Homo-oligomer: A and B are copies of this chain.
Amino acid sequence: MSVLVVGSIALDTVKTPVEEHADLLGGSASYAAVGASFFTPVNLVGVVGDDFPSAHIDYFGSRQIDLTGLQTVPGKTFRWSGEYMWDLNTRETRSVELNVFEHFNPVLPAGYQSAPYVLLANIGPNLQNHVLDQMQRPRFVIADTMDLWINIALDELLRLLARVDMLILNDGEARQLTKETSLIKAAAKIRAMGPAYVVIKKGEHGALLFGPNAQFFSCGAYPLEDIHDPTGAGDTFAGGLAGYLAAQDHGTVTFESLRKGVVFGSILASFNVEKFSLERLRTLTQADIDERYASFRRMSQFEVLA
């Protein structure tokens, strides 16, 4: 099955303590769509300006990403600039230019409206709701979000939560949304807001997956010696998870598939941070993914392995 990915497409300028690069391909939908494309065909909905390099369009096209839903409009592409502190865990946004993204109206091409799998990558919850308004009955809807929307668009976000099957957010955001310090209590509160499943990301410490009937999975992070650019790790995680799920479709989503989806999302994210922008994903092969999966399995299983 294909997966519908909606989100932002941006040109990023990223500074770390050792490097700075300008006008990199970025945005939540770029990372998520490419992440998902390692598992299944993707339908991408987003907007770019007429300054958007055709090389990036060609790159999307070279993956199994359908671009019927990609709008190119007069003006400049969304630009974001950020700087990471020495530990690469703290980030400061240096500038945001919404440009053509300011008036983005995500319109689903007719063929996308019946998509069974939907990833609402990180954009305003009003836009995420607007996408769902156009859809028939999707089988599984995943929404990603961030602290900004909890701060400035909480009502829209709560309206969204009642309509999605899974919410992905990080530990700080889960605590912010629920006022609970315990992530277990926070996940229970979020599930009560709507989504049957909640994924809480813990950065370098992995991710927790919560589901109905006290179903629970704790996924370790893949330990890396060197991280070059954390930008897009969360988006790539969400894309890998959504793509894997869609590819496994057997008419229903099992907790088994969700567990493995979280593992594959983590693997994709672990590759993504090894280089700037989507550079590592450009050269990533199925063999790379298989090898890291095997090593992930070895490092986290503690009973005798077959």
Cβ-defined contact, B302 with A259, below 8 A: yes
> What distance in Å separates the Cβ of A186 from its nearest Cβ neighbour in chain B?
10
Cβ-defined contact, B184 with A300, below 8 A: no
Distance between Cα atoms of A299 and B260 in the complex (Å): 12
Residue from B184, B223, B225, B300 in contact with A223 in the complex, judged by beta carbons closer than 8 Å: B184
Please tell me if A181 contacts chain B, counting CB pairs below 8 Å.
yes
Main secondary structure of the interface of A (DSSP, over half): mixed
Distance between Cα atoms of A220 and B266 in the complex (Å): 15
Chain B residues with Cβ below 8 Å from A87 are 181
> What distance in Å separates the Cβ of A257 from its nearest Cβ neighbour in chain B?
10
How many of chain A's residues have a CB under 8 angstroms from any CB in B? 33
Distance between Cα atoms of A218 and B301 in the complex (Å): 9
Cβ-defined contact, A183 with B218, below 8 A: no
Cβ-defined contact, A302 with B263, below 8 A: yes
Please tell me if A104 contacts chain B, counting CB pairs below 8 Å.
no
Cβ-defined contact, A301 with B301, below 8 A: yes
Please tell me if A3 contacts chain B, counting CB pairs below 8 Å.
no
| A226 in contact with B182 given A202-B205, A206-B220, A220-B206 (CB within 8 Å) | yes
Per-residue CB proximity of A83-108 to B under 8 Å, as 1/0?
A: 00001000000000000000000000
| A300 in contact with B300 given A184-B223, A202-B205 (CB within 8 Å) | yes
Cβ-defined contact, A303 with B297, below 8 A: yes
Distance between Cα atoms of A224 and B208 in the complex (Å): 13
Instruction: Give the residue name and chain of the B residue nearest to A258 (CB).
Output: B302
Please tell me if A216 contacts chain B, counting CB pairs below 8 Å.
yes
Distance between Cα atoms of A235 and B206 in the complex (Å): 25
Please tell me if A219 contacts chain B, counting CB pairs below 8 Å.
yes
Chain B residues with Cβ below 8 Å from A181 are 87
CB contact list, A203-250 vs B, under 8 A: 205-206, 208, 216-221, 223-226
Show 20 A/B contacts (Cβ-Cβ < 8 Å), sorted by A: A87-B181, A182-B224, A182-B226, A183-B223, A184-B225, A185-B225, A205-B206, A206-B220, A216-B223, A216-B299, A217-B300, A218-B220, A218-B221, A218-B300, A219-B302, A220-B300, A259-B302, A297-B302, A297-B303, A300-B301
